[in-house]
């Protein structure tokens, strides 16, 4: 990582850099996944890009590969947890009205219980 790839005040960048401990469930050269500290389902992991990206609202065509990689990792986490066959949900909030509280894009991967619709 270079200085331009991080936001020093970002919670998820601090987790990425090992400055805040987390239960890491996956890591490669592009994304990181870790267990949510306030899980809403038996499986509740967050998948984040290693590069700081604040919100989906800023996405461009140049970001397509990282968003695709995040979805593939979400599927892998669900399969490896043994919960993919029963169904799982991926959620990405964009902006405060949608519930985004950490301004570093992240997918919530939820499984292991019935998930109603609409959420909340």
Residues with active-site annotation: 106
What is the side-by-side order of every strand in the sheet holding 107-111? 24-27, 31-35, 43-49, 107-111, 88-91
27 in Cβ contact with 15 (< 8 Å): no
Look at residues 99, 104, 94, 93 and name the one whose alpha carbon lies nearest to residue 9.
104
Q: How many CB atoms lie within 10 A of CB 8?
A: 10
Nearest one of 5, 119, 2 to 66, comparing CA atoms: 5
């Amino acid at each position: 990582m270079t200085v331009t790839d991080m936001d020093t005040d970002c919670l998820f960048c601090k987790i990425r850099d090992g400055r805040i401990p987390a239960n890491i469930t996956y890591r490669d050269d592009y994304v990181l996944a870790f267990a949510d500290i306030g899980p809403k389902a038996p499986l509740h992991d967050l998948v984040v890009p290693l590069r700081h990206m604040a919100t989906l609202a800023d996405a461009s065509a140049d970001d397509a590969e990282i968003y695709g990689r995040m979805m593939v990792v979400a599927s892998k986490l669900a399969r490896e947890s043994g919960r993919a066959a029963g169904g799982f949900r991926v959620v990405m909030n964009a902006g405060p009205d949608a519930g985004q509280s950490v301004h570093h894009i992240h997918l919530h991967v939820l499984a292991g219980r019935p998930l109603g619709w609409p959420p909340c």
